C-alpha cells in the first residue's frame, strides 16, 4: 500500500464513507471523521461514491447520515464499493412489494 | 462581532433590514412598480402576475408586505385585476405599517403613476429613517434553508455544514425552517422519527406522504441517472442529503406558506399544493419561489447551498450562499459567501464550516450585506397555487 486517498464519514453511526476523490482499487483510504482509520479499497471508487467501513451482511442496512438509506443485496466486505449492484432502496422495494 | 440591533415593528419580531415593499398586484402594473422602485436600493419590487385573483398569492403578498424586514408598503395596481389592492392595504395597515396605493388607471397612466409613486416612496424612505432600533438576540431570528444547483458535493459538504449551523442556531433559541418536503420522499419514517411530539411526528408522516403522492401525480418522482452517476444509490440517500441541511434538532411541527412558526425551534415548511377541485400549482417551480416561501413565513435570511453554482438572491431577506464544490467556488467566488468546498479538499471539517456559517449569519443579521445583496440580486416568484392553512400553526 503506497498511495493514500481520502473519504469522509458523515455521521458517527455510518457504516460507509464517501470518497473525496477518485480512488483506485488497492489503495489505502484515510477515513476522515474516524480517527485516521485506514481502509483498503477493494474496488475503484469514483468521487462521491460509497466505500464500506465494515462488513455488511445481506439484508442489513447501509447507514449514511446516521440512518438506513439502503439494504445490502449480498454480503459486502469492508473496503467494497457500495452502489446499485449490491444495495437497494427500502422505499422502492416496499413499493414493488418485495419487502413488507 | 457587532451587536444585533434590529428595526422595531409595531407587532412581531424586529427586522434586520428596513425596506419599502413596492408590490404590483398584476403583471400589467409591474413595469410601473419597477420604475418607482428604481429610486433606491431599499425599495424592493415584488408581486403576482395573475389577473384572476388567487387566495394563496394574496396571502403570500400580504405576508411579505408584513415581513419584519419591511417598514412601509406601496401597492401598485392597474385597477381592473382580480386582486383587490384596497382589502390588502387594510390588512397590512393593521400591522402599523404605512400603506399607500397607486392605481394606474385612476392616476392617468404610466408617467403620472410613476411620478406619484416616487413621491410616496421618497416620503416612506424618509419616515423609515426614524424607525427605532432595539437590541435583538438570536432568539428573535428566523432562518430558512434551501438548496439549488446541487451536485455530488451538496450532500457531503454544504448541506451537513448548514445542518451544523442550524443546530447551533436552534440551540441559541432561534426559529429555523426547512422546506422541500418533495426532497423527503422515501424518508417518511425517518423524518417522522425527528418529531418533537407524537402530534408533530404524525404531521410529518402525513406531509411526506402527501409529497410522495404529489410527486407521483406530477411525475416529479424518482432519482435521475445523473444522481446514480454522482454516487447516489437510492432515493432515501438523495433525500437525506437534502434533509441534512436541517441538522439534528427535534422538529416542532409543520407550517404552510405564509404561516409563521408558532414557536422557537425547527419547523418543516410544506409548500406542496394541497388537493383541490381545480388542480394547479407546482411545488417549487424554481429556487426563487422556494426562497420566497421561506421568507413569507418570516425568515430574516435564507442559507442557500449550491454545488454547480447559483447566483440568485431575493427580495426582502438576504440570501447567504454556501458552495460545497471547491472548483465552482474558485470559478464563482464573487457570488458565494462561504466556501464549504474546503471540506472536500480536506482543509476544514463539517463542524468548522458550520461554525463559519453560523458566524456569517450573525454578521448578516447585524447588517453586513451578503454577496447577492451587494450585487443587487432581487429575484422573486409568486405562482398560482392552492394551499389550505395548518389549523394549529
Does B246 contact chain A (CB < 8 Å)?
no
Does A62 contact chain B (CB < 8 Å)?
yes
Element housing A95 (H / E)? helix A90-95
For B72, the 3-state DSSP assignment is: strand
Nearest CB among B156, B236, B350 relative to A69 is that of B236
What's the whole-number mean pLDDT along residues A26-31? 96
Helical segments of chain B, H only: 30-37, 55-65, 85-93, 104-107, 110-128, 159-171, 188-192, 198-217, 225-229, 235-243, 287-296, 326-332, 341-344, 350-365, 371-374
Probe site for chain B from A19, A64, A86 (most B CB atoms < 10 A):
A64
How many CB atoms are closer than 10 A to CB B138? 20
C-beta of residue B293 within 8 angstroms of C-beta of residue B179: yes
Does B153 contact chain A (CB < 8 Å)?
yes
pLDDT of residue B214: 87
Nearest CB among B156, B190, B233 relative to A67 is that of B190
Q: How far apart are CA A73 and CA A68, in angstroms?
A: 14
pLDDT of residue B392: 65
Cβ-defined contact of B343 to A8 (cutoff 8 Å): yes
pLDDT of residue B1: 58
The neighbouring-strand residues paired with A72 are: A87
For residue B244, the chain A residues in CB contact (below 8 A) are 10, 65
Residue partners of B256: CB distance under 8 A and separation at least 6: B269, B270, B271, B387, B388, B389, B390, B393
Name the phi and psi angles at A80, rounded to 5. -80, 155
C-alpha cell of B287?
429556487
Alpha-carbon distances of A24 from A1, A77, A80, A81, rounded to whole Å: 11, 17, 12, 11
Element housing A94 (H / E)? helix A90-95
The tally of CA atoms less than 13 A away on the side-chain side of residue B127 is 15
C-beta of residue B61 within 8 angstroms of C-beta of residue B48: yes
C-beta of residue B42 within 8 angstroms of C-beta of residue B126: no
Probe site for chain B from A48, A86, A87 (most B CB atoms < 10 A):
A48
From the centroid of its chain, how far is CA A88? Answer: 13
Number of inter-chain CB pairs under 8 A, A vs B:
78
Of the candidates B305, B307, B277, B276, the residue with the CA atom closest to the CA atom of residue B291: B305
Percent of chain A whose predicted confidence (pLDDT) is above 90:
87
Residue partners of B110: CB distance under 8 A and separation at least 6: B31, B32, B35, B104
Is the pLDDT assigned to residue A1 strictly greater than 60? no
pLDDT of residue B280: 66
Does B352 contact chain A (CB < 8 Å)?
no
A88-A90-A94 Cα angle (round to 5): 115
pLDDT of residue B135: 95
The neighbouring-strand residues paired with B78 are: none
Among chain A residues, the shortest Cα distance to B325 is held by A20
In chain B, where are the structural domains located? Answer: 19-130, 138-374
Q: How far apart are CA B61 and CA B65, in angstroms?
A: 6
Q: How far apart are CA A52 and CA A61, in angstroms?
A: 12
Does A46 contact chain B (CB < 8 Å)?
yes
What's the whole-number mean pLDDT along residues A14-37? 93
Q: What is the pLDDT of residues B274-292, one digit of tens each?
A: 887 666 667 788 999 999 9
One DSSP character per residue, B319-340 reads EEEEE--HHHHHHHGGG-SEET
CATH topology classification for B19-130: Rossmann fold (3.40.50)
pLDDT of residue B277: 63
For residue B231, the chain A residues in CB contact (below 8 A) are 18-19, 46-50, 83
Cβ-defined contact of A8 to B234 (cutoff 8 Å): no
Name the phi and psi angles at B230, rounded to 5. -75, 0
What stretches in chain B show pLDDT beneath 70?
1-2, 219-222, 277-281, 392-393
The dihedral built from the CA positions of residue A27, A32, A37 and A43, taken in this order, carries a sign that is: negative
Catalogue all structural domains in chain A, each as residue range(s) with its CATH number.
4-95 (2.30.130.110)
- Please state the ipTM of this predicted complex: 0.96
Amino acid at each position: 500500500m503506497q498511495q493514500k486517498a481520502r473519504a469522509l464519514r458523515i455521521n458517527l453511526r455510518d457504516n460507509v464513507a464517501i470518497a473525496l476523490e477518485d480512488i483506485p482499487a488497492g489503495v489505502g483510504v484515510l477515513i476522515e471523521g474516524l480517527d485516521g482509520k485506514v481502509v483498503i479499497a477493494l474496488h475503484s471508487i469514483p468521487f462521491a461514491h460509497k466505500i464500506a467501513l465494515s462488513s455488511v451482511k445481506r439484508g442489513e442496512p447501509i447507514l449514511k447520515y446516521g440512518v438506513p438509506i439502503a439494504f445490502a443485496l449480498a454480503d459486502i466486505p469492508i473496503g467494497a464499493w457500495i452502489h446499485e449492484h449490491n444495495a437497494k432502496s427500502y422505499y422502492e422495494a416496499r413499493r414493488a412489494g418485495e419487502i413488507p | 462581532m457587532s451587536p444585533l440591533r434590529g428595526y422595531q415593528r409595531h407587532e412581531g419580531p424586529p427586522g434586520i433590514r428596513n425596506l419599502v415593499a413596492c408590490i404590483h398586484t398584476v403583471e400589467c402594473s409591474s413595469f410601473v412598480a419597477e420604475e418607482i422602485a428604481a429610486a433606491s436600493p431599499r425599495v424592493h419590487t415584488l408581486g403576482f402576475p395573475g389577473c384572476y385573483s388567487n387566495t394563496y398569492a394574496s396571502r403570500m403578498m400580504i405576508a411579505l408586505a408584513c415581513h419584519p424586514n419591511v417598514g412601509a408598503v406601496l401597492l401598485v395596481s392597474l385597477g381592473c385585476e382580480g386582486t383587490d389592492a384596497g382589502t390588502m392595504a387594510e390588512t397590512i395597515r393593521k400591522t402599523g405599517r404605512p400603506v399607500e396605493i397607486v392605481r394606474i388607471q385612476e392616476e392617468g397612466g404610466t408617467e403620472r403613476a410613476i411620478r406619484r409613486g416616487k413621491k410616496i416612496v421618497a416620503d416612506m424612505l424618509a419616515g423609515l429613517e426614524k424607525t427605532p432600533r432595539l437590541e435583538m438576540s438570536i432568539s428573535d431570528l428566523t432562518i430558512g434553508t434551501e438548496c439549488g444547483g446541487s451536485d455530488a458535493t451538496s450532500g457531503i459538504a454544504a448541506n451537513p455544514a448548514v445542518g451544523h449551523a442550524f443546530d447551533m442556531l436552534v440551540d441559541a433559541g432561534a426559529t429555523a425552517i426547512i422546506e422541500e418536503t418533495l426532497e423527503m420522499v422515501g424518508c417518511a419514517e425517518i423524518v417522522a422519527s425527528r418529531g418533537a411530539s407524537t402530534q408533530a411526528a404524525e404531521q410529518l408522516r402525513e406531509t411526506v406522504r402527501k409529497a410522495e403522492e404529489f410527486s407521483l401525480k406530477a411525475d416529479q418522482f424518482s432519482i435521475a441517472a445523473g444522481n446514480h452517476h454522482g454516487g447516489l444509490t437510492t432515493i432515501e440517500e438523495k433525500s437525506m442529503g437534502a434533509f441534512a441541511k436541517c441538522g439534528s434538532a427535534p422538529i416542532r411541527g409543520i407550517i404552510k406558506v405564509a404561516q409563521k412558526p408558532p414557536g422557537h425551534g425547527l419547523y418543516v415548511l410544506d409548500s406542496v399544493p394541497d388537493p383541490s377541485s381545480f388542480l394547479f400549482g407546482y411545488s417549487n417551480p424554481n429556487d426563487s419561489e422556494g426562497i420566497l416561501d421561506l421568507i413569507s413565513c418570516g425568515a430574516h435570511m435564507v442559507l442557500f447551498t449550491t454545488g454547480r453554482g447559483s447566483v440568485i438572491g431575493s427580495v426582502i431577506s438576504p440570501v447567504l450562499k454556501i458552495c460545497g464544490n471547491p472548483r465552482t467556488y474558485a470559478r464563482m467566488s464573487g457570488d458565494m459567501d462561504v466556501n464549504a468546498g474546503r471540506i472536500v479538499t480536506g482543509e476544514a471539517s463539517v463542524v468548522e464550516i458550520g461554525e463559519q456559517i453560523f458566524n456569517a449569519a450573525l454578521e448578516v443579521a447585524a447588517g453586513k450585506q451578503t454577496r447577492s445583496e451587494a450585487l443587487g440580486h432581487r429575484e422573486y416568484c409568486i405562482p398560482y397555487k392552492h394551499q389550505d392553512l395548518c389549523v394549529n400553526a
